[in-house]
Amino acid sequence: MFSKHMDYKKLLDDFLQFKRASGYKYKTEETILKAFYHYTTVHSDSKLGLTKKFMQRWATLQVKEGRKSLSNRVSVLREFGIYLNNFGYKVHLLTTVRNAKNKSFIPYVFSQEEIVKIFTVIDNLPLSSRNRYNSNEVYPILFRLLYGCGLRISEALHLKIREVNTLTGELSLNIAKNDTKRVVMMSESLREVCHRYKEEYLPFKEESTTFFQHKDGSIRSIYRVNGFFKDVLYHCDIPYLGRGKGPYLHNLRHTFACHSFYQMHKQGIDMNVVLPVLSTYLGHKSIRTTERYLKLTLSILPELRESIGAIASSIYREVEFEKE
């Protein structure tokens, strides 16, 4: 028997506050919750509770609605249903809707051994007499920033000198995907490396120019960095597995996320705390993308299963990994 005559407005507001108190932004999700509340006001059978029929009608693909949008709507209400069940309410839990176009995409994650190989090759670049693109100075720092902070390559290459505080270790990312400005902290060892690089190679450069610029001050090309990384993988004997499988340069970001989960697991940090923090750090638009990384980490490192068991039911299976 489903719970009847529920105060949907109060329950939805409480759920939203609960998520935000847990560290989730829940901005897009708030819009979905408001739409669901409107849905309960225009359908009189809402007084009978969140029955299977009532919820499945909500989960119907609407005119001009994409499958990804539907999966997001369903995921939020599934979370709401789990929340209600935990408080003793009897409601129907919707089945997650997969985005079929991307459900088979699994990003490549480098092992610790492969990461060591990659940096060994980068650190031992053959010295060029001309060194036109100052690769010997830039690449060891750039790739450590990509892996050590999980930056997107576009974010790293557009970093201005003034946005890299080598005294405090703060990176101010003002050009980021999803128009999400954020501050990222470097580790102490990475801060020291960036400080030495800045002092030695950028002392007379304008603060408004890029941190990883060419000798002439121009912005470094993403295409050229990608090409260099392919050469590095070749010298590391890390094979290319085919289109859509990688490994690619962006997989350093995927690797950062998975390795971060593992390190925090070893430190005994609650995954409920980790998720919203890492989501903000990575600049994800939705917490669901970060949750997918947690699921991926679990598939690679099964020993994490116990530490994430309490939140496993809330991991969205249908969300996509970002590809750029």
C-alpha to C-alpha distances, 200 to 134, 157, 194, 196, nearest whole angstrom: 13, 19, 10, 6
Quick one: pLDDT at residue 300?
59
Q: Please tell me which of 87-101, 187-201, 298-312 the model is most confident about, judged by mean pLDDT.
A: 187-201
Quick one: pLDDT at residue 301?
59
Which is it for the CA torsion 254, 256, 262, 265, positive or negative? Answer: negative
Least confident of 15-19, 48-52, 249-253, 299-303: 299-303
Work out the mean pLDDT of the chain and round it to a whole number. Answer: 83
Q: Nearest CA to 295 among 274, 316, 310, 278?
A: 316
- Return d(Cα 197, Cα 189) in angstroms, integer: 13
**What pTM was estimated for this model as a whole?**
0.61
Greater model confidence, 92 or 291: 92
For residue 265, name the pLDDT band (cuts at 50, 70, 90).
confident
The alpha carbon of 255 is separated from its chain's Cα centroid by a whole number of angstroms, namely: 11
Q: Is the pLDDT of residue 311 over 50?
A: no
Q: Is the pLDDT of residue 128 over 70?
A: no
Q: Is the pLDDT of residue 306 over 50?
A: yes
Q: Is the pLDDT of residue 142 over 60?
A: yes
Tens digits of residue pLDDT in 227-259: 999 999 999 999 988 777 779 999 998 888 888
Q: Cβ distance 210 to 158 under 8 Å?
A: yes
The alpha carbon of 146 is separated from its chain's Cα centroid by a whole number of angstroms, namely: 13
Q: Is the pLDDT of residue 139 over 70?
A: yes
CATH label, 112-235, candidates 1.10.443.10, 3.20.20.80, 3.30.70.640, 1.20.1250.20:
1.10.443.10
Q: Please tell me which of 173-187, 200-214, 263-277 the model is most confident about, judged by mean pLDDT.
A: 200-214
- Return d(Cα 136, Cα 191) in angstroms, integer: 19
> Residues 153-177: what's their mean pLDDT?
89
Q: Cβ distance 276 to 22 under 8 Å?
A: yes
Greater model confidence, 98 or 26: 26
Greater model confidence, 19 or 106: 19
Residue type at 18? F
C-alpha to C-alpha distances, 230 to 75, 77, 205, 213, 275, nearest whole angstrom: 37, 43, 30, 21, 31
For residue 129, name the pLDDT band (cuts at 50, 70, 90).
low
For residue 278, name the pLDDT band (cuts at 50, 70, 90).
confident
